[in-house]
Structure 1
């Protein structure tokens, strides 16, 4: 019988350690609740669990696509003469030569999007009008050397180079997505393709087995599987994302029942590693931009697993799964889709409303369902397309259910994530967020103790986020990028030293007083030894649409002036003892006897950043006039 794990009563747990001494409780919710025999006995035949009509059931497809039929057909018609693009050898080599990912990803992504539009049109219309182009797309992808991206190939090949090696297939995000996508094409259109030539579906099936299923079954060293964890390794969104894709291929393609059961159970063991890693408070340390591929992909994985087993293997009543879902509703700020964006997350993008609704329905979260309707009401384009055909199908299937929901935003005045050490405080027109944590979080920035503040639903104190991904983004040179560095976050440079990357660089004595709306933490340990800092207590007191930021410190033999940095969305105006913010709408006051003040304009020449912030953000710096071993600084924002 399935057991609901109660953390207060569980006496014996396998305690494991991730980077930096972060302990987690290895709950293994899937394999501890469900055996391989449970999976075998409950697994349904494919046509019994797939919740979509068969291709030939025209009446059902007409009903399912009714809200979007003209849109689907129009998009498909534009693709009837689509020219399939070639991904050249030099496109792969570009990543190795100059760090460019886009040159290889763009043509492949456009091909995948074209195939998506053609398939959706054919499922909607059902006359075979789009079939030849779908076959061309299938043939194109089976002709490719690899479905993996140039940035990901080296990690999984013995050559450690970007050109695909012969007879070496690995599962990365793109390869997994294509395997899942093409598995649905095989499921829906096998009979129609066989009328043209059986070699098409045979070739397609063989490719999915050879590129996705067999590598997954034969390898345990793909880092995202988390079977061979190193001391510094994280378990991030790759795990549920890739495992969802593998599970889909297993369920739709694999004919060997014993191999299918083994494969399904192996994905369960792997996904348990991700659930174990996520803290029980459910916060996504990667930020809202990654929620859809972290918690959101975990939902997809659990949903399809429950469907395929007749709802036998089901974790949606587990508190941690619900907590992970509601993180996305709590992280919404307002205005122009502003969200809390620590780490690499963008400050804009509230999430996919249809996904949020489905997740909320599964975990019985009215908060998520109403938030989803709020977001959907703001959308002009109610249905989006991607290479994730499963989500497209789910959007069509459940769109009417979302439309009937009432819209609302969360009303709780604060949200505290005690394990992840995130704090949100909201009032009308006011949103404050701060973090503790450590400097080896997934998509990490060196930002222990930082905060953001939005007033009147507009950004004032910000986290810039991340620019366009390049080779440097996920390399040893990552912290050469300004957006990753602590001196471009809302935290101090102590005794001439910035925070450093590494899990040992972390917050301690993290405290939140809900009644007083006070958050404090000692960030001294986030700085390396040369800072000579014994303690640095950063504290925030929120309320009355304002914020007081305080720093109390003790430094041994200081020899450099401390600098307190703030990153601003708008250019400030400096006055004596007061800084005017956001065109004078708000202000920051400080002690003029303590600081010299300067402003740096940080030009945004990266498209990913400029789309959010415009051409410039501003760094406001308070440099201490005196070098002191002990002291206290206070900044008042109104």
Structure 2
């Protein structure tokens, strides 16, 4: 019986943090035990050597021609120089893309070239690979302009030549180049020995030495229960682990380095709620729990299974979150910065599911594989490990029966995510939580509603990242504000940002399909709220929303906001119709209590337009009278 199957679960206290001193990895081995367990000199690698042509033919069966074709296209790639002003554009205008785009195109070309050379084995891609390696080694840093100033002494987005930092992309490139060196060092030496020599030296000075000699923020070295530890931690640690396992052949140094990554990843596991939900949303699951899986899988492989925590229930919970958060038809539950479109990488989800013995994950992965036609699912760009693992698991994945989870009720008691389905095709996602989660929006108590897998009342997500997105200006961006989520404005006040702005007295009743939370603590003191209890009840053919509140003072207007994909139209006072993609719902309210208004919200950011198109809408129900106490009731049903 699942942990949430209770007739009534009342969460009386919620501190917003999942921190628990589990230290699962450190309990498996100390440095001495780890040294004994580690398989040295890359003998743990299960992929064929470069000269094993039969092995590569088997590994790339069915996709070899496609791999080689992509490599051939990259043979004519014009290597792009990332200039100093490209980096500086981040601090001048806030744009990340000016620097990231040419850098990304170079790295994608390199990934295609290396994989093509491994698949074909004739040496015709080596010159262009050498060009890409040489250009990369000429760069001051592999870190992104958006990340360097956080760690380096100079407060600028231009990388300093005086120090090396490890961010997400520097780590990715380190991992990718470690695999390139492992497979191709002898072949690259035939082009010119300085090429693999310089690459190895770069990996030492850019990844291995900095990791051992300093503490980056993502390592969470001195983390406390109040420290946020997000996807950077497993992502960067996975890359560092890869580099050490592929490059370091001194047993003592290797054990020390691997244990240092274990201490760090334990901080991520300690931070994560036992229920396993990803507070950053499905778009980040692959970088958070997914990267943790990659790390754990690699660590287990390199120790012949002696250091493994896949039997821990919370590790399974963290994996199954990605399947349970899938609505259908390509739509996912998208709180925080996550996109509403997605589903995840089939190969990754499948392997994670195998590791934790989750049939649900394996079948969901097979569904995604089938949905995408089984095409290009092996390709993971510069993430060479996932590409290789995808190639290994593709056949087994293709033979797995597909299925999409259809659970009527899913509850994450610590993260406070609640999903409900009914037989009429409604899918409701609601949340409690607090307003200082990773990639936070001020959205405590919000909900999204899907009808027959079509989003009707939506969470729009986040636009293209800029300097402003992760700065003191974050909550000046409309997508982050509670008034552009499905929440009330109370006494003229929107929700506030910070760890103190959190849920209170959350109640969940599975038998009645209800989720209820007091929103009062999510608003500033100026809102003068005693209580504001919002309740969602999903019945057989409708959703009931109720706001019951008490204020200590009347200062401003109350307004119920609903973000919609389709244009809300007033049929008559008290009835709003919303239509989209052949689906239609009616939202009913008391016209004596509210006056309805509709605002068209123009969408121009490409990250959002590819999901929602050029506009969405905000339906506002404006209270006609301000009262210290009242009860608002909304009904939503199919039209």
- Range class of TM-score, shorter chain: over 0.9
The answer to whether the 8 Å contact 1:76/1:117 transfers is: yes
Q: Distance in 2 between matches of 1:375 and 1:23?
A: 30
Q: Distance in 2 between matches of 1:213 and 1:589?
A: 61
**Superposition pairs of residues 448-467 of structure 1, within 5 angstroms:** 448-467=444-463
Deviates more, 1:40-49 or 1:430-439: 40-49
The answer to whether the 8 Å contact 2:38/2:302 transfers is: yes
Of 550, 553, 561 in structure 2, the residue corresponding to residue 557 of structure 1 is 553
1:192, distance to aligned residue in structure 2 (A): 1.0
Of 304, 307, 311 in structure 2, the residue corresponding to residue 310 of structure 1 is 304
| SS of the residue 1:559 aligns to | coil
Residues 466-497 of structure 1 deviation map (CA, whole Å, 9 limit, x = unaligned): 00000000000000000000000111011011
Q: Distance in 2 between matches of 1:502 and 1:356?
A: 33
Q: Which residue number in structure 1 is paired with residue 516 of structure 2? A: 520
Taking a change above 3 Å as real, the CA distance of residues 418 and 267 of structure 1, as seen in their structure-2 partners, is: same
Q: Distance in 1 between matches of 2:498 and 2:476?
A: 15
Q: Which residue number in structure 2 is paired with residue 170 of structure 1? A: 165
Q: Which residue number in structure 2 is paired with residue 16 of structure 1? A: none
Q: Distance in 2 between matches of 1:22 and 1:398?
A: 36
1:242, distance to aligned residue in structure 2 (A): 0.2
Q: Which residue number in structure 1 is paired with residue 123 of structure 2? A: 128
Of 223, 230, 234 in structure 1, the residue corresponding to residue 228 of structure 2 is 234
Q: Distance in 2 between matches of 1:102 and 1:26?
A: 39
Q: Which residue number in structure 2 is paired with residue 535 of structure 1? A: 531
Q: Distance in 1 between matches of 2:362 and 2:195?
A: 42
The answer to whether the 8 Å contact 2:536/2:546 transfers is: yes
1:231, distance to aligned residue in structure 2 (A): 7.5
The answer to whether the 8 Å contact 1:209/1:254 transfers is: no
Q: Distance in 2 between matches of 1:445 and 1:616?
A: 20
Of 38, 43, 51 in structure 1, the residue corresponding to residue 46 of structure 2 is 51
Of 229, 242, 251 in structure 1, the residue corresponding to residue 245 of structure 2 is 251
1:21, distance to aligned residue in structure 2 (A): 6.3
| SS of the residue 2:22 aligns to | coil
Q: Distance in 2 between matches of 1:232 and 1:490?
A: 28
Q: Distance in 2 between matches of 1:470 and 1:228?
A: 29
Residues 477-521 of structure 1 deviation map (CA, whole Å, 9 limit, x = unaligned): 000000000000111011011000001000010010000111101
Of 179, 201, 207 in structure 2, the residue corresponding to residue 184 of structure 1 is 179
Q: Which residue number in structure 1 is paired with residue 574 of structure 2? A: 577
Q: Distance in 1 between matches of 2:537 and 2:426?
A: 13
Q: Which residue number in structure 1 is paired with residue 598 of structure 2? A: 599
Q: Distance in 1 between matches of 2:97 and 2:252?
A: 40
**Superposition pairs of residues 317-336 of structure 1, within 5 angstroms:** 317-335=311-329
1:330, distance to aligned residue in structure 2 (A): 0.2
1:264 aligns with 2:258: yes
| SS of the residue 2:62 aligns to | helix
The answer to whether the 8 Å contact 1:20/1:232 transfers is: no
Q: Which residue number in structure 2 is paired with residue 154 of structure 1? A: 149
Q: Distance in 2 between matches of 1:143 and 1:254?
A: 23
| SS of the residue 2:115 aligns to | helix
The answer to whether the 8 Å contact 2:234/2:291 transfers is: yes
Of 351, 367, 386 in structure 2, the residue corresponding to residue 374 of structure 1 is 367
Of 209, 212, 221 in structure 1, the residue corresponding to residue 207 of structure 2 is 212
| SS of the residue 2:405 aligns to | coil
Q: In structure 2, list runs of 5 or more residues that go unmatched.
A: 4-13
**Superposition pairs of residues 112-511 of structure 1, within 5 angstroms:** 112-220=107-215, 222-229=216-223, 233-335=227-329, 337-380=330-373, 381-383=375-377, 384-428=379-423, 429-511=425-507
Taking a change above 3 Å as real, the CA distance of residues 185 and 23 of structure 1, as seen in their structure-2 partners, is: closer
Q: Which residue number in structure 2 is paired with residue 636 of structure 1? A: 635
Q: Distance in 1 between matches of 2:178 and 2:44?
A: 15
The answer to whether the 8 Å contact 1:61/1:124 transfers is: yes
Deviates more, 1:373-382 or 1:598-607: 373-382
Superposition TM-score, scaled by structure 2 size: 0.95
The answer to whether the 8 Å contact 1:292/1:352 transfers is: yes
Q: Distance in 1 between matches of 2:412 and 2:196?
A: 49
Q: Which residue number in structure 2 is paired with residue 611 of structure 1? A: 610
1:47, distance to aligned residue in structure 2 (A): 3.6
1:219, distance to aligned residue in structure 2 (A): 0.8
Taking a change above 3 Å as real, the CA distance of residues 545 and 51 of structure 1, as seen in their structure-2 partners, is: farther
Superposition TM-score, scaled by structure 1 size: 0.95
1:39, distance to aligned residue in structure 2 (A): 1.1
Q: Which residue number in structure 2 is paired with residue 15 of structure 1? A: none
Q: In structure 1, list runs of 5 or more residues that go unmatched.
A: 1-5, 7-18
Residues 59-104 of structure 1 deviation map (CA, whole Å, 9 limit, x = unaligned): 0001110110110111111111211110000000000100010000
Q: Which residue number in structure 1 is paired with residue 10 of structure 2? A: none
1:560, distance to aligned residue in structure 2 (A): 1.1
Q: Which residue number in structure 1 is paired with residue 620 of structure 2? A: 621
| SS of the residue 1:44 aligns to | coil
Q: Distance in 1 between matches of 2:166 and 2:285?
A: 21
Q: Distance in 2 between matches of 1:174 and 1:190?
A: 22
Q: Distance in 2 between matches of 1:452 and 1:92?
A: 38
Residues 532-586 of structure 1 deviation map (CA, whole Å, 9 limit, x = unaligned): 1010000000021310000000101112121111110110111211000116721
The answer to whether the 8 Å contact 2:316/2:356 transfers is: yes
The answer to whether the 8 Å contact 2:427/2:453 transfers is: yes
Q: What is the alpha-carbon root mean square deviation over aligned residues?
A: 1.4
Point out 4+ residue stretches in structure 1 off by more than 6 angstroms: none
Q: Distance in 1 between matches of 2:51 and 2:382?
A: 23
Q: Which residue number in structure 2 is paired with residue 109 of structure 1? A: 104
1:20, distance to aligned residue in structure 2 (A): 6.3
Of 84, 87, 92 in structure 1, the residue corresponding to residue 87 of structure 2 is 92
1:259, distance to aligned residue in structure 2 (A): 1.6
The answer to whether the 8 Å contact 2:18/2:273 transfers is: no
- The structure showing larger relative contact order (alpha-carbon pairs under 8 Å, at least 6 residues apart) is 2
